[in-house]
């Protein structure tokens, strides 16, 4: 048990780095702060790899089942014997898997940022924020207590806010940061209420205990939570749905996704780390963490499934129309997270029935690598072109060969072409969907085709299409030419590309499954033919439309007309939100409340103050400053008391 105590260092090292860089970085070592942050994280990464090795290959397994190990536990708030909030670190397959993902992607982003953010004035601040984020995310994945999850959840939200608004002199970045924070915060309200309900019926906030109590169908907590109902649904459904709302907010599920595309205002490496690989999968992780409880409730799982499926399709359609490279990637992230969500939703608990669970975690794992690779590649391109718009790019394959190759690998991986990583995880998801829900399978298949289409639309538009003539001036000009960027920016691309190729071959089901027991997945070649063919067709269409400059794509746009505009405008969801907030909530709820606050609550206080001041003004004349008046009052008082005591009180 205690032989895992060293994993404390994994979150503590980034915390240390955050404190040191945050307090002293800018003043004393702004130049080397990047190296310091990266070096600290490198050690943390090594430690997490050691922990993963120890857990998966040495002593994590007991009788062929991976155990949940509490590495560290500390009673933090001890309210009463029945109610205490513990801080603890749990080690189980998914938390170890997340440790590896978070530290390695974060390390790559740290290294990449050394080149990308070079020369920024607030370089040290940037690194301290990155460290804060890494700390909170690691704390989140290791939390053994649901309240602790919530705390780190909020910390993650704060660091995301700080990093989105890194360029705080741009109004759009500030707006985006506020939007991200408010939307996720709003969702977190649901999460909090969900936690409270679970805690109330379960009698504990400890995740392990909670799962034990709420999955035993005979236990009192389970019976009480399922028999209590509110508005026609059991409290279990309510609490899980509310928890899922929190997860949907962080994971940008429809309709709480509106913050994610705007969050791309942050520096691109940040988008790679937070808004692609790690933070946005927190919602998936949360559902996976509580999956045994979710699996007890059909309706909550249905919600997860359909929200995930719809988000996947919805985002993929929008991604096809966007022209900002980072927004395309943002919507593709949302779509892939939708995949993970519905994979969880269709899964069952235990053994081979838990295929969806395993597939979801597998996809989370592979997605982290290829999506961060895509974002870092996009970062490279943006660094070179100084624009986010696709139309400013084109023909870059000769100018940035390494970015080109790695980006292509990532596109193939996300499209699900064998033998790249995305193929394996996506196959598992499709397989799970095929066996449990044909509708979702259809949606997933169509989304897969769309994914391939928009990714290759992006790829061909950036690296092929027209010749790179616009920026040839820049390239000859020595001052502006930095080519592909220094090796420090290429190295992470290459490492991540290697991961995007390689991680698919990991026999994931041996390590991660819903109940800890390893199982075999059956790769069915015949089954794979359909999705792969569809994907390849989609890629060919994209190649046909975007490889050379031509008007074919415009023709299609004209043909579908209104639908294209709607998708381009993101189906007016943002406008809808603005309409609801500005036209309904502000005038009909906000303003009456503001009026009541101003006039009734403040008014009451003002009234008290006014009465007091009126009385004091009217009696202040008594304090004349004349000694004799005071003496007179004194004697008057004595006289009155004498009369009182002698004649009246007797």
Partner 1 sequence: MQEITLNQILFVSTTLFFIGMYGLFTRRNLITMLMSIELMLNSVNINFVAFNKYLYPEKLDGLFFTLFIITIAAAEAAVAIAIIINLYRSHNSIDVDDATEMKY
Between 562 and 621, whose beta carbon lies closer to partner 1? 621
Q: Identify whether the C-beta of residue 527 lies closer than 8 Å to the C-beta of residue 434.
A: yes
Residue 628 binds partner 1 (CB under 8 A): yes
Q: Identify whether the C-beta of residue 121 lies closer than 8 Å to the C-beta of residue 308.
A: no
Between 217 and 628, whose beta carbon lies closer to partner 1? 628
Contacts with partner 1 by CB under 8 A: the residue count is: 11
Length of the chain: 650
Scanning residues 240 to 269, which ones bind partner 1 (CB under 8 A)?
A: none
Between 613 and 624, whose beta carbon lies closer to partner 1? 624
State the pairing for strand pair 233-234/69-80.
unpaired
Q: How far is the CB of 612 from partner 1 (least distance, A)?
A: 15
Q: Identify whether the C-beta of residue 462 lies closer than 8 Å to the C-beta of residue 397.
A: no
Q: Identify whether the C-beta of residue 275 lies closer than 8 Å to the C-beta of residue 177.
A: no
> How many other β-carbons are positioned within 10 Å of the β-carbon of residue 524?
11
Between 27 and 626, whose beta carbon lies closer to partner 1? 626
Between 523 and 612, whose beta carbon lies closer to partner 1? 612
Scanning residues 603 to 622, which ones bind partner 1 (CB under 8 A)?
A: 620-621
Between 626 and 650, whose beta carbon lies closer to partner 1? 626
Residue 631 binds partner 1 (CB under 8 A): yes
Helices (H) and strands (E) counted in the chain, each on its own, are: 29, 6
| DSSP secondary structure letters along 522-589 | ---HHHHHHHHHHHHHHHHHHHHHHSS--SHHHHHHHHHTHHHHHHHTGGGHHHHHHIIIIIIIIIII
Residue 627 binds partner 1 (CB under 8 A): yes
Between 611 and 631, whose beta carbon lies closer to partner 1? 631
β-partners of residue 65 are: 62, 517
Q: How far is the CB of 627 from partner 1 (least distance, A)?
A: 5
Q: How far is the CB of 638 from partner 1 (least distance, A)?
A: 11
CA dist 213 to 19, 350, 396, Å? Answer: 39, 17, 57
Q: Can you tell me the distance from the alpha carbon of 515 to that of 351, in angstroms, rounded to the nearest whole number?
A: 7
Q: Which of 229, 591, 613, 624 binds partner 1 (CB under 8 A)?
A: 624
Between 5 and 632, whose beta carbon lies closer to partner 1? 632
Q: How far is the CB of 636 from partner 1 (least distance, A)?
A: 11
Q: Which of 632, 640, 641, 643 binds partner 1 (CB under 8 A)?
A: 632
Q: How far is the CB of 642 from partner 1 (least distance, A)?
A: 14
Contact stretch for partner 1 (CB under 8 A) within 38-46, 174-182, 628-636, 638-646: 628-636
Q: How far is the CB of 641 from partner 1 (least distance, A)?
A: 17
Residue 195 corresponds to which tokens in the numbers above?
A: 């936690």
Residue 623 binds partner 1 (CB under 8 A): yes
CA dist 9 to 21, 90, 105, 242, Å? Answer: 18, 14, 18, 33
Q: Which of 64, 119, 232, 625 binds partner 1 (CB under 8 A)?
A: 625
SS3 of 272-331: HHHHHHCHHHHHHHHHHHCHHHHCCCHHHHHHHHHHHHHHHHHHHHHHCCCCEHHHHHHH
Judged by the rule CB under 8 A, the positions of this chain that interact with partner 1 are: 620-621, 623-628, 631-632, 635
């Amino acid at each position: 048990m205690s032989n895992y105590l060293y994993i404390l260092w994994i979150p503590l090292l980034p915390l240390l780095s955050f404190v040191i860089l945050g307090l002293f970085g800018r003043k004393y070592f702004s130049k080397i702060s990047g190296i310091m942050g990266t070096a600290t994280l490198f050690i943390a990464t090594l430690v997490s790899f050691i922990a993963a090795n120890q857990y998966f290959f040495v002593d994590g397994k007991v009788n062929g089942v991976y155990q949940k190990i509490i590495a560290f536990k500390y009673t933090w708030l001890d309210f009463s014997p029945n109610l205490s909030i513990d801080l603890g670190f749990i080690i189980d397959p998914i938390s170890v898997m997340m440790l590896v993902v978070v530290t390695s992607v974060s390390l790559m982003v740290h290294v990449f940022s050394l080149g990308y953010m070079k020369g920024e004035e607030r370089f040290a601040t940037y690194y301290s924020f990155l460290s804060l984020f890494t700390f909170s995310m690691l704390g989140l994945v290791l939390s053994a207590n649901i309240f602790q999850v919530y705390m780190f959840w909020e910390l993650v939200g704060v660091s995301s806010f700080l990093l989105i608004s890194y360029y705080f002199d741009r109004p759009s970045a500030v707006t985006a940061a506020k939007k991200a924070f408010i939307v996720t915060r709003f969702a977190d309200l649901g999460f909090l209420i969900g936690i409270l309900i679970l805690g109330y019926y379960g009698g504990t906030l400890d995740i392990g205990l909670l799962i034990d109590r709420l999955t035993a169908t005979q236990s009192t907590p389970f019976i009480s939570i399922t028999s209590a109902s509110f508005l026609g649904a059991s409290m279990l459904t309510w609490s899980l749905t509310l928890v899922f709302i929190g997860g949907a907010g962080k994971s940008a599920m429809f309709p709480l996704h509106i913050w994610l595309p705007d969050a791309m205002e942050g520096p691109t490496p940040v988008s790679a780390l937070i808004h692609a690989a790690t933070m946005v999968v927190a919602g998936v992780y949360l559902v996976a963490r509580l999956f045994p409880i979710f699996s007890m409730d059909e309706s909550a799982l249905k919600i997860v499934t359909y929200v995930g499926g719809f988000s996947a399709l919805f985002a993929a359609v929008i991604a096809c129309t966007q022209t900002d490279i980072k927004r395309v990637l943002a919507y593709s992230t949302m779509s892939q997270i939708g995949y993970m969500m519905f994979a969880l939703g269709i899964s069952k608990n235990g053994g081979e029935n838990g295929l969806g669970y395993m597939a979801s975690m597998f996809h989370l794992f592979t997605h982290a690598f290829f999506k961060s690779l895509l974002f870092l590649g996009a970062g490279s391109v943006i660094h070179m072109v100084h624009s986010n718009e696709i139309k400013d790019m084109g023909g870059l394959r000769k100018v940035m060969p390494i970015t080109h190759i790695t980006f292509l690998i990532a596109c193939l991986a996300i499209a699900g072409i064998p033998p790249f990583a995305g193929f394996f995880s996506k196959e598992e998801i499709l397989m799970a969907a095929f066996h449990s829900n044909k509708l979702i399978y259809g949606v997933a298949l169509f989304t897969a085709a769309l994914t391939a289409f928009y990714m290759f639309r992006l790829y061909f538009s950036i690296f092929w299409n027209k010749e790179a003539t616009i920026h040839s001036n820049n390239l000859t000009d020595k001052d502006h030419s930095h080519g592909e960027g220094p090796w420090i920016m290429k190295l992470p691309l290459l490492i991540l590309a290697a991961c995007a190729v390689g991680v698919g071959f990991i026999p994931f089901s041996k390590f991660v499954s819903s109940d800890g027991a390893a199982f075999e997945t059956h790769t069915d070649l015949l089954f794979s033919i359909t999705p792969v063919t569809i994907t390849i067709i989609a890629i060919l269409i994209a190649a046909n439309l975007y490889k050379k400059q031509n008007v074919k794509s415009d023709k299609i746009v004209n043909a579908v007309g209104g639908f294209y505009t709607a998708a381009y405008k993101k189906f007016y969801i943002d406008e809808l939100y603005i309409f609801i907030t500005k036209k309904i909530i502000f005038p009909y709820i906000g303003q009456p409340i503001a009026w009541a606050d101003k006039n009734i609550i403040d008014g009451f206080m003002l009234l008290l103050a006014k009465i007091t001041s009126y009385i004091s003004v009217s009696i202040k004349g008594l304090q004349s400053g004349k000694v004799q008046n005071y003496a007179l009052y004194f004697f008057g008082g004595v006289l009155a008391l004498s009369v009182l005591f002698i004649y009246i009180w007797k």
